[in-house]
Chains A and B, each alone.
Chain A
Amino acid sequence: MEFTTTGVLNEDGIHVDMDRLKKGEVNMAVTFKDGVILGADSRTTTGAYIANRVTDKLTQVHDTIWCCRSGSAADTQAVTDIVQYQLGLFSMRNGKPPTTQTAAAIFQEICYSNKDRLSAGLIIAGWDERHGGQVYSIPLGGSLHKQAYAIGGSGSTYIYGYCDAHWKEGMEEQDAVNFVKGALREAIKWDGSSGGVIRMVVLTKKGAIRHLYLPDEDYKRVSGRKYPVGTPNNTRLPVPELWEKRQGGREVVAHFGPLSSNLGIGPCFNVSSELTSARLRGSSLVEDM
């Protein structure tokens, strides 16, 4: 069988051109009154094939420092693994948590010194006592930009106008969540290579709280999970107590429609995306870039 270079599935619907990276995704981070919010879609593609529709592109590198990954899944996972290690070491050696700026500086060093070999676009967002919520963007060449809010990935081209028109300084948390959701919805609507669910992480002095919004639920929030400050990285917390019951008292799980049925929003909603990303590592998968 011949492989094409068009990024399109072959007749058998299985064989995919792995060399051609079709980058498409959208992610963003926004400062608000009490901290910062990260948001991303969940599509990972190999050419035209959606390799994972429930990807988790929001990755924790310290208690309240997270990043949005876009570009090569393998590259960004490798980079975040290194930074996560460095920040863990930093906080032990210095007896205090790293600032967002420190995290961004370590990211930048890696991205710049390996610029010829990496395909990684990152947005670093974090909260610390001294500076509050902060957003740093590291685009392809490895430059570092401090911003009040940042958008990235192919889908972001569709929402520059939306963000400029709707972003305000010092928003309330709910307004900021709505802003992020509104922007991501537009990106998902217009960008073919962005899609799936909307994931968010809210970082404040209380720690990190996850949000999940499903398209077939009109992006109403279905669950949240807390990562209080001090929770070890990558801890898989039992979810149930944080599941919000819907109005009428129905369990969220029971209500999932066709898409959500396989979202991995079971007792541990991260598991499916975790497994998938582990499987994807090493292949030239592109995360909703």
Chain B
Amino acid sequence: MTSIGTGYDLANSIFSPDGRNFQVEYAVKAVENGGTSVGIRCKDGVVLAVEKVITSKLLKPGANKRIATVDKNLGVVYSGMVPDGHHFVDRARDEARGWRETFKTPISTSDLASRMGGYLQAYTLYQSVRPFGITAIIGGFDSELETPVDGEVGSGPSVGAGGKVEGKHGGPGLYMIEPSGMYWGYYGAATGKGRQAAKAELEKLNLSENKLDLMQGIKEAARIIYVAQQDNKDKEFELEMSWISGADGPTKGRHMEVPKDLLEAAERLAKKAISEDDEEDEEDDDEKNDDKMEE
């Protein structure tokens, strides 16, 4: 960074002459050192996964969760500074509650992303604060159900409200918010240390075709976290995964942890997949050696 020491990197509220906010760029650096987070938007729901780096042997396995539930149907995972992430989650919960209070309906994934994007952006404006040292991935499922008629007896009206426009309403949503407050909607999102490898793997899944389902999604998410972790194998980590489906799916519209048996199965497959990759690499090497011998 050429501009270090010029003084333009000391505060949020001052631009550098070439139009950059260095505090925000430093915050991105903090994110790039964090454990990898991944989000996959499947056709029937969303999967969130994170590589939780084990900082001490004295930490209880499975405790200190990194994926948080913000509202019944909304989950958040983040890479970067964990305390900043906790504050982000607190704020997201406040926003979700406030929306429910005002509109008597759960906040949609896109609206939460919009609210939190605005919140993070405000932390890039003032001298007295620093930007968030996290990039957060918000996953949610906006209910496809209708609120029933009060006093409905039995199955209620058979026809229901008239004049609905055909097409899909509600569904899975996935957004990623950066320290600058910028947010986009994604088919697959990755952030943290292993994001490059993770993004490459996500692109191979052709998520825009909307064919991958949740059961495949958790396997892919687990595998991608393991692939992304390959570059620093020395660090111990734990895989944490959550998922959200529609009302007729496995989580019944709620954001929850992936059940232990499914998580372990996905982890086994992931380990197998990366060890096979290693073998293939070795085979390739052998072939090359053979070539050489022929010469």
Q: Which residues of A contact B157 (CB under 8 A)?
A: 148, 169
A34/B163 in contact, CB under 8 A:
yes
Q: Is A205 at the interface (CB under 8 A from chain B)?
A: yes
Which residue on chain A has the smallest CB distance to residue B110? A94
B103/A133 in contact, CB under 8 A:
no
Q: Which of A87-128 contact B (CB under 8 A)?
A: 94, 99, 101-102, 104-106, 108-109, 127
Q: Give the dominant DSSP class at B's interface.
A: loop
B149/A132 in contact, CB under 8 A:
no
Q: Is A204 at the interface (CB under 8 A from chain B)?
A: yes
Q: Which of B158-177 contact A (CB under 8 A)?
A: 158-165, 169
Count of CB-CB pairs between chains A and B under 8 Å: 71
Which residue on chain A has the smallest CB distance to residue B105? A101
Which residue in A31, A146, A205 is a CB contact (below 8 Å) of B147? A146
- The complex places the Cα of A139 from the Cα of B260 at a distance, in Å, of 49
Q: Is B285 at the interface (CB under 8 A from chain A)?
A: no
Which residue in A36, A101, A105, A106 is a CB contact (below 8 Å) of B163? A36
Q: Is B232 at the interface (CB under 8 A from chain A)?
A: no
Q: Is B111 at the interface (CB under 8 A from chain A)?
A: yes
Q: Would you give the shortest CB distance from A282 to chain B, in whole angstroms? A: 29
Which residue on chain A has the smallest CB distance to residue B164? A132
A204/B163 in contact, CB under 8 A:
yes
Q: Which residues of B contact A133 (CB under 8 A)?
A: 161-163
B164/A130 in contact, CB under 8 A:
yes
B103/A205 in contact, CB under 8 A:
no
Q: Which residues of A contact B163 (CB under 8 A)?
A: 32-36, 127, 132-133, 204-205
Q: Is A131 at the interface (CB under 8 A from chain B)?
A: yes
Q: Would you give the shortest CB distance from A180 to chain B, in whole angstroms? A: 14
- The complex places the Cα of A275 from the Cα of B111 at a distance, in Å, of 40
Q: Is B146 at the interface (CB under 8 A from chain A)?
A: yes
Which residue on chain A has the smallest CB distance to residue B114? A94
Q: Is B102 at the interface (CB under 8 A from chain A)?
A: yes
Interface size on A, residues (CB 8 A): 31
Interface range, B side: 20 to 34
Q: Which residues of A contact B57 (CB under 8 A)?
A: none
12 contacts between A and B (CB under 8 A): A35-B163, A36-B162, A106-B102, A130-B164, A130-B165, A132-B162, A133-B161, A133-B162, A133-B163, A145-B150, A170-B159, A205-B165
Q: Would you give the shortest CB distance from B185 to chain A, in whole angstroms? A: 14
Q: Which residues of A contact B148 (CB under 8 A)?
A: 146
Q: Is A241 at the interface (CB under 8 A from chain B)?
A: no
Chain A 126-168: CB-based contact to B (< 8 A → 1; otherwise 0): 0101111110000000001111100000000000000000000
Q: Is B104 at the interface (CB under 8 A from chain A)?
A: yes
Q: Which of B138-194 contact A (CB under 8 A)?
A: 146-151, 157-165, 169
B150/A147 in contact, CB under 8 A:
yes
Q: Which of B70-128 contact A (CB under 8 A)?
A: 102-105, 111, 114
Q: Which residues of A contact B150 (CB under 8 A)?
A: 145-147
- The complex places the Cα of A226 from the Cα of B151 at a distance, in Å, of 34
